[in-house]
Amino acid sequence: MPRPAPPRSILITGASSGLGEALARHYAGPGIALHLNGRDATRLEEVAALCRAAGATVATRVLDVTERESLAAWIDARDRETPLDLVIANAGVSAGTGRFGESEAQARHIFAVNVDGVVNTVLPAIAAMRPRGRGQIAIMASLAAFRGFPGAPAYCGSKAAVRVWGESLRGEVERHGISVSVICPGYVRSRMTAVNTFPMPLLMDAERAATIIARRLARGRGRIAFPWPIYFAVWLIALLPTSWTDNLLAKLPKKAGAE
């Protein structure tokens, strides 16, 4: 499949902070239409103001990605006004397990946002792009998608689900001229990682991560995984028998959770 054309109309969910904000600011410029979604109205408008100052046209919508019908209607409306070239399904959440493990409510919430929210974003985007035979979809997974870690079972499971779904979807929709990329970053500075009290190897600024992502999206990469030392490590751990790795992984530090 040929490389995607440079995107001029870009929709990003979870754009009020972290990687979503960094990607919005990276793409912002004259002639660029940004469609930004988030749940925090104040932060979202702050991001929008920065992007407008860079020359972009910005439309915002405060909306939870688990609201399927409302999200689909918004994506359709934005596409009708400015046909979407790139849709980045970025919105996601994480949480710790705490002393008593992960609650049912927490697990369901993580899956609802990280899986249902991605599906709720991607399917309407594909429906909009298919008739014109072009477009690009980016799905935010994680390096945690390659092996389950005891400290974050729902997070790892949700990211594994969208990684595999996105990689499968890529082969399905490319015949319609739509490119799908799955993004698997390591530790990135954000509100999500700011609460971690344990060492985060090769922690990267969100701006640097956004640059890497945008560059590889421009090349149409199917899987965007970085930094490579951690990618290699989790890939290798996933290959090894669980009898070799379970005890090791159980000793890793965990994100703090509710008691």
Q: Reply yes or no on whether the pLDDT at 249 is more than 60.
A: yes
**184 is in which domain, residue-wise?**
9-250
Whether a cis peptide bond, with omega within 30° of 0, leads into 227 is yes
Give the pLDDT of residue 106.
Answer: 92
Give the pLDDT of residue 139.
Answer: 98
Q: Does 108 reside within a domain?
A: yes
CATH number where 115 lies: 3.40.50.720
Query: Are 218 and 6 a contacting pair, CB within 8 Å?
Result: yes
Domain count along the chain: 1
Instruction: Please write the tens of the pLDDT for every residue from 197-234.
Output: 556 677 899 999 999 999 999 999 999 999 999 999 99
Q: Does 4 reside within a domain?
A: no
Q: Reply yes or no on whether the pLDDT at 38 is more than 80.
A: yes
**Mean of pLDDT values over 48-63:** 98
Q: Does 59 reside within a domain?
A: yes
Q: Does 195 reside within a domain?
A: yes
Which residues are identified as catalytic?
Answer: 155
Instruction: Please write the tens of the pLDDT for every residue from 98-156.
Output: 556 788 999 999 999 999 999 999 999 999 999 999 999 999 999 999 998 887 899 99
User: Which of 219, 221, 224 is closest to 6 using CA atoms?
Assistant: 219
Q: Does 256 reside within a domain?
A: no
Query: Are 248 and 87 a contacting pair, CB within 8 Å?
Result: no
pTM value is 0.91
Give the pLDDT of residue 259.
Answer: 36
Q: Does 86 reside within a domain?
A: yes
Q: Which residue bears the tokens 């972290």?
A: 18
Q: Does 255 reside within a domain?
A: no
**Mean of pLDDT values over 39-56:** 97
Strand partners, 139: 89, 182
